[in-house]
Structures are given as structure tokens and as C-alpha cells.
């Protein structure tokens, strides 16, 4: 027997009129009248566009139909690198998202059964569903910003890393002359110095507002017998000035830890510079030394992870998408849990099963139909994913983050205006969704 419950036949068969023919016709007519609006709408908004898209995919780029190109558009689809990336990315999405969303939803659903503020918790987890995917994309894009002063996630990273490796006071500074060389993050004066010598440590790349307020005009200290003296200063004045020379208008850098290293590179003395940038290592035994500023002074602040960069953009998108849909999975699975017969669970517990065994052997198998609904729905959603990628990925990473629906939009409506390739991508996407849909329909029938 035909399992479809949509046809008009069963009620007709159920009420056979005595004088069959005219009455039967009337019944058909009534059926047709009732069906007509739905059929009309389906025809205009579903069937016609679908058929037109399929036909259009065999024609060239512009015009109502353009010219016949055969399967060239489909060849383009599988040979253009941006499109193959899109297909690959969709495969990643399908492999990761439905499974994770279902798993996270299941965990949340089971846990919310046991917590006191279940409703509040559920509301919070479900809330992202109430936000449009586009708004979510924009929000996450801001949170993912690399600059810790903009992106919330990297700001958190900065706070944490600030505790373990604080940024140096002169993190942007660089040497003003090649005489000062970088070694392991520290800046070391290449020319050796001796007791009675003067070490000039000129730095540039320091914005005026980074110079401490106590700072005054830099001076070159007079040499002192037995001491190594010198100065640390902002070796810059408007126009650049003469690098390596302390000039009028150039400020000393106070509070910088200066080290005196011996020939082996070992720090023998360290001191802090004064407001005019000068420093003095007293009673230095004779020998050859190097003046240096330690690496800690120049330690770069946490620059943030490139969540939106080429290597992390796809995982970043997946996280944001799972964040949206986990709530949906939780609610659906939660409903399944609520309708689950309690006596089975009780029985399992009475028989001495642990919580994990109950979950693994009783809850999950009983929930299987619900889990598969969530899983299949997510596969379909993920195949069609568009808006979040469009909103979240920066333009420079579209090629890396591309997905099929986005590729279709760009091919057909942006730039290229190539309706042929756009249609071909749409048809390809349609073909991908069909098996999943078929699976879903078959299950509906079985359950119906």
C-alpha cells in the first residue's frame, strides 16, 4: 500500500457514494480546489526555479539563458581552486559540526536534567538560536579580532599571558644605530667598553607618549675613571636627527635596567637609568665589557592569535556555528529525554548499573531516533551554510573559508555575474542534499 499520507485518495475511498461516477468527480474536484493554492505556490516558488536553475546550469554566463555550453560549468566547478576549496571545506563542516553539535547537545540535555537552575541554563544555551546567524557572525568577528584591545578572546589571552610574561616597558623600541645589536631579545652594544668608558645606548621607535613623564633632556655623562658610564635615550627628534649622537631635544629614558656584561656574556652589574637617561657602573674591575639592555625591557606584549587568519579561520567558523546550534540540539534532545520511560532507567539502576552504564546502554539507545533527527538536520543545515561565513570571515580569507553556498553567491551575484556557474553550483549543492533528505523522508514514513 502507498504509505504517503498526502494524497487525496484515502478519504475518497473511505466514502464510496452509491452512484459512483459524478460524486467521485465532485470529490476529485473538491480535492483539486483545496490543493490548488498550495500546488500553485509550490510550482511558482519551488518547482519552476528549480527546473530553471537546472536548465540554466548548462548555459553560458549572461542573459536570460545565454548560450549552450554543455557541462562546461560543472567542469569549472571541479577545476577552479576556490570552488574545490569550498567543496573541501563543506566536507570538513559535515564531518565536524553535526557530530559535535549532537554530542554537546546530548551532554547539555542530560546535565540540565540534574542541575537546579535548569531553566536558566537552558535559556542561556538556547539564546544564540534567537540571534540571526549574520549578527552572530559579526559578533564573533569582533571577538576574534587579533588586536587584544579589540577582540575579547585575545584580550583574555593577553590578561593571562600578562601574568606569566609581562610586556616590557619599551616593547616597540629598536636600536638607532647598527652598533646596538639584538641578541636573544636583549640589545647589546657591539663595541666593547672598559672602565673609564662611555656607552651610548640610543633607541628609536618610541612614541612620545611612551616616554615616562619624569624624563628630561638626555646628556652624555663625562667619563669617570674606574666606572663605566653611559646613557639610554630616545635617539630621535623631529626630522630624525643624527643617529647615535645625543642632541638637544632628545629625551633620556629613565628606569631602564642596564646591564654590564663581561666578555663571556655574563651580567656582572646592573643598574637603572636616571631621568636624563644616564647610568653609572661603579668600581668596575679592568677588562673588556659590553653594555646591554635586558630582553625583559623589550618583551613584546601578547599580540593575540590570528583567529581570523588563514590557518585558524575554518576552526573559528566551526566554533561560532556550534555555539549557535548546540542550544537547538539540547532542546530537541531534552524533549526526547523528558518523554523517555523512567521505569527503564529505574530498572537499570536497581540492577546495579553505574550512571555511565545507564547513560551508555539505556539513555543513548533510547534516544537514538532523536539523536538521528538532530544529526540529519545538522547535516542539511551545514551543507547550506552561508550567512555566518559571509559575516564572520574577513574578505582576505574568503578564499580559505569558502563554502559551496558562498561560492554560488559570489559566482552568480558578485563580481562574475556568471549565472551559469552559479546555477551549476546550486545544482551540485541540491544533489548533495538529496540523499540526506531522502534518508529523512524514509525515516518519517517509518515512524509515521
**Contact positions vs other proteins (CB under 8 A):** 60-64, 82, 145-147, 172, 174, 176, 204-210, 236-240, 306, 308-310, 394-399, 402, 410, 413-419
Q: Which is nearer to other proteins, 51 or 120 (CB)?
A: 51
- 419-447 and 364-383 are packed helices; what angle lies between their axes, rounded to 10 degrees? 160
Q: Which residues are CB-neighbours of 54 under 8 A, at least 6 positions away?
A: 423, 427
110, 125, 107, 99: which is closest to 375 by C-alpha?
Answer: 99
Q: Which is nearer to other proteins, 136 or 154 (CB)?
A: 154
Q: Which is nearer to other proteins, 7 or 132 (CB)?
A: 132
Smallest distance from the beta carbon of 400 to other proteins, in angstroms? 8
Count of CB atoms situated within 10 Å of the CB of 174: 13
Q: Which is nearer to other proteins, 26 or 249 (CB)?
A: 249
Smallest distance from the beta carbon of 390 to other proteins, in angstroms? 10
Smallest distance from the beta carbon of 396 to other proteins, in angstroms? 4
List the grid coordinates of 228.
663605566
CA 106 to chain centre: 23
Smallest distance from the beta carbon of 410 to other proteins, in angstroms? 6
Q: Which is nearer to other proteins, 22 or 239 (CB)?
A: 239
Smallest distance from the beta carbon of 349 to other proteins, in angstroms? 53
Give the strand pairing for 180-183 and 228-234: unpaired
Smallest distance from the beta carbon of 154 to other proteins, in angstroms? 11
Q: Which is nearer to other proteins, 70 or 208 (CB)?
A: 208
CB 89 within 8 A of CB 402: yes
List the grid coordinates of 181.
645589536
Q: Which is nearer to other proteins, 208 or 285 (CB)?
A: 208
Q: Measured between alpha carbons, how far is 325 from 106 in angstroms, rounded to an integer?
A: 12
Q: Which residues are CB-neighbours of 348 under 8 A, at least 6 positions away?
A: 357, 358, 361, 362
163, 162, 164, 145: which is closest to 153 by C-alpha?
Answer: 145
Smallest distance from the beta carbon of 173 to other proteins, in angstroms? 8
Q: Which is nearer to other proteins, 102 or 154 (CB)?
A: 154
Smallest distance from the beta carbon of 11 to other proteins, in angstroms? 42
Q: Measured between alpha carbons, how far is 280 from 286 in angstroms, rounded to an integer?
A: 15
> What are residue 216's phi and psi, to 5 degrees?
-130, 175
Q: Which is nearer to other proteins, 27 or 154 (CB)?
A: 154
Smallest distance from the beta carbon of 397 to other proteins, in angstroms? 7
Smallest distance from the beta carbon of 150 to other proteins, in angstroms? 9
Q: Which is nearer to other proteins, 27 or 402 (CB)?
A: 402
Amino acid at each position: 500500500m502507498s504509505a504517503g499520507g498526502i494524497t487525496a485518495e484515502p478519504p475518497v475511498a473511505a466514502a464510496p457514494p452509491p452512484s459512483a461516477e459524478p460524486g467521485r468527480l465532485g470529490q476529485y474536484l473538491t480535492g483539486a480546489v483545496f490543493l490548488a493554492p498550495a500546488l500553485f505556490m509550490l510550482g511558482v516558488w519551488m518547482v519552476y526555479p528549480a527546473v530553471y536553475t537546472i536548465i540554466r546550469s548548462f548555459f553560458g554566463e549572461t542573459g536570460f539563458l545565454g548560450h549552450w555550453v554543455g557541462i562546461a560549468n560543472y567542469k569549472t566547478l571541479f577545476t577552479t581552486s576556490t570552488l574545490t576549496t569550498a567543496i573541501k571545506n563543506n566536507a570538513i563542516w559535515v564531518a565536524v559540526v553535526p557530530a559535535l553539535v549532537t554530542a554537546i547537545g546530548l551532554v547539555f540535555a542530560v546535565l540540565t536534567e540534574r542541575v537546579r537552575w535548569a531553566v536558566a541554563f537552558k535559556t542561556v544555551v538556547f539564546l544564540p538560536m534567537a540571534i540571526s546567524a549574520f549578527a552572530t557572525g559579526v559578533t564573533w568577528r569582533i571577538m576574534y579580532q587579533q588586536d587584544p584591545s579589540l577582540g575579547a578572546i585575545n584580550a583574555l589571552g593577553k590578561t593571562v599571558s600578562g601574568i606569566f610574561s609581562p610586556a616590557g616597558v619599551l616593547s616597540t623600541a629598536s636600536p638607532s644605530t647598527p652598533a646596538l645589536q639584538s641578541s636573544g631579545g636583549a640589545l647589546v652594544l657591539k663595541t666593547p667598553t672598559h672602565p673609564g668608558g662611555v656607552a651610548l645606548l640610543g633607541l628609536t621607535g618610541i612614541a612620545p607618549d611612551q616616554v615616562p613623564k619624569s624624563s628630561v633632556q638626555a646628556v652624555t655623562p663625562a667619563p669617570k675613571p674606574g666606572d663605566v658610564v653611559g646613557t639610554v635615550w630616545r635617539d630621535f627628534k623631529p626630522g630624525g636627527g643624527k643617529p647615535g649622537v645625543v642632541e638637544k631635544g632628545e629625551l633620556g629614558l629613565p628606569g631602564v635596567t642596564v646591564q654590564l656584561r663581561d666578555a663571556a656574556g655574563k651580567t656582572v652589574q646592573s643598574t637603572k637609568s636616571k631621568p636624563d637617561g644616564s647610568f653609572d657602573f661603579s668600581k668596575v674591575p679592568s677588562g673588556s665589557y659590553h653594555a646591554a639592555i635586558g630582553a625583559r625591557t623589550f618583551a613584546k606584549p601578547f599580540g593575540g592569535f590570528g583567529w581570523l587568519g588563514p590557518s585558524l579561520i575554518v576552526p573559528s567558523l566551526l566554533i561560532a556555528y556550534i555555539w549557535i546550534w548546540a542550544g537547538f540540539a539540547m532542546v530537541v534532545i531534552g524533549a526526547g529525554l523528558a518523554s523517555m520511560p523512567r521505569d527503564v532507567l529505574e530498572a537499570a539502576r536497581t540492577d546495579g548499573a553505574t550512571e555511565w552504564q545507564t547513560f551508555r546502554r539505556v539513555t543513548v539507545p533510547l534516544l537514538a531516533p532523536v539523536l538521528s533527527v538532530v544529526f540529519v538536520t545538522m547535516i542539511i543545515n551545514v551543507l547550506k551554510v552561508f550567512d555566518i561565513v559571509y559575516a564572520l570571515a574577513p574578505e582576505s580569507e574568503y578564499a580559505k573559508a569558502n563554502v559551496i553556498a558562498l561560492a554560488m553567491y559570489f559566482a552568480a551575484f558578485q563580481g562574475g555575474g556568471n549565472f551559469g556557474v552559479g546555477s551549476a553550483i546550486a545544482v551540485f549543492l541540491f544533489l548533495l542534499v538529496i540523499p540526506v533528505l531522502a534518508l529523512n523522508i524514509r525515516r518519517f514514513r517509518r515512524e509515521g
